[in-house]
Homo-oligomer: A and B are copies of this chain.
Amino acid sequence: LASLRDIAEKLNVSVSLVSKVLSGRLGTTGVSDEAVANIRRVAEQLGYRKNASAVALLSGRHNIIGVFIHRLGMAGSGIIEELLEGVSAVALQHHQRLQLNFFITNEEFFALCHGANRGTMDGLVVGGVYHAELEEHLRAIHGAGLPLVTLYDTPVAQPIPNVGFDQTAASRLATEHLISRGARKLAHIRNMDGRYEGYRQALAAAGLRYDAARVFQAREHDYSHVMGEEAVRKFLKNGVAFDGLVAQSDQEAVGAMNELFRRGFRVPEDVRLIGIDNAPYCEFARVPLSSVSQDFLARGAASMRLVLDLVEGRDVRSTHVQPILFPRDSSR
């Protein structure tokens, strides 16, 4: 690859002159039109490109932002694609390069953390499923002075800015929606305490009686369609009547929908359904599935903006995105 020196030698001028011309930073000095033209021509001809590492070394900025994503248990939800799209768009816009790393195990995360420092990148976004074991390492990275933003529901550690999401509000929104459409006997698949709270809040606000029999306790960390199927089976077996179901993922909701159809129920006529995540397949479920989006596009974008603010030395506070309701036929 051609360097400034190659151009300078070819034209018998100094490297600094070439640098000035090509970087467009002439300072106080003037340059002859002829020299400019020559330099531009030869640069073009030699296919000159700045060496990013040299610039980084000099400026102390790599223009690289790391993105570490825990990608377990999110297959098919489209969450990761959405997140990456958001992060990537903002990075591009700010001329920052995006260094992507996935991890599953804690060990993989620890290994990544070792390479996460000012000698490698300017800032870091960490997102995905939270595990308490990660906190120590996140604190270490933050403590070492690397701009760091997390993407968890709630802030992990006080000084680390986070782009959060109110799961209670999301679940409340979903439940309120089914109520507004006429459901009165609302069932719920319980995975997450916050979401359970939101469900109860919506019931209370609407003056509906809470019935513990309508809550199906899912296996921990299991948001698969199996939970939806099992929930429906259990309700039917126990003779629990319900005309609405607030699931904890679109997979659960689709599982429930399938089971309902198998048992001869209709959606939404007999049971109104809503999921969470607004996965792409909501559109083409047996009955298009209503859902609440966690807006990972906006979350990704916000996290990148935040980390860039940190890099620039601006003050930054944790923020969060709002759940978005996508009503479809399953709750008509």
Contact of A280 among B54, B76, B145, B261 (CB under 8 A): B76
A99 sits at the interface (CB 8 A): yes
Residues on B with beta carbons closer than 8 Å to the beta carbon of A283: 225
Contact A251-B284, Cβ < 8 Å, known A1-B117, A57-B53? yes
A98 lies within 8 A of B101 (CB): yes
Report how far A51 CA is from B64 CA in the complex, Å. 13
Band of interface residues on A: 35 or more
Q: How many Å lie between the Cα of A92 and that of B254 in the bound state?
A: 35
Q: Which of A79-87, A159-167, A184-192, A200-208 contacts B (4 or more CB under 8 A)?
A: A79-87
Bound complex: CA of A258 vs CA of B289, how far in Å? Answer: 13
Q: Across the interface, which residues of B come within 8 angstroms of A280, CB to CB?
A: 75-76
Please tell me how many copies of the chain the complex holds: 2
Q: How far is the CA of A100 from the CA of B49 in the complex (A)?
A: 20
Return the chain B residue nearest A67 by Cβ: B100
Cα–Cα distance between A174 and B104 once the two chains are bound (Å): 33
Pick from B54, B92, B100: contact of A84, CB under 8 Å: B100
Q: Chain B residue with minimal CB distance to A47?
A: B144
Nearest-CB distance from A64 to chain B (Å)? 8
Say yes or no for A310: interface residue by CB 8 A criterion: no
Given contacts A101-B92, A117-B1, contact A52 B47 (CB under 8 A): no
Q: Which 5 pairs from chain A and chain B are nearest by CB?
A: A76-B280, A225-B284, A53-B56, A1-B118, A49-B119
Interface residues of A (CB under 8 A from B): 1, 47, 49-54, 56-57, 62, 64, 67, 71, 75-76, 78, 80-81, 84-85, 88-89, 92, 97-102, 117-120, 144-145, 224-225, 251, 254-255, 258, 261, 279-281, 283-286
Additional pairs, 18, CB under 8 Å, beyond known A1-B119, A76-B279, A88-B100: A1-B117, A1-B118, A1-B145, A47-B117, A49-B120, A52-B53, A52-B120, A64-B99, A71-B81, A71-B85, A80-B81, A98-B101, A99-B99, A225-B283, A225-B284, A254-B284, A261-B261, A261-B286
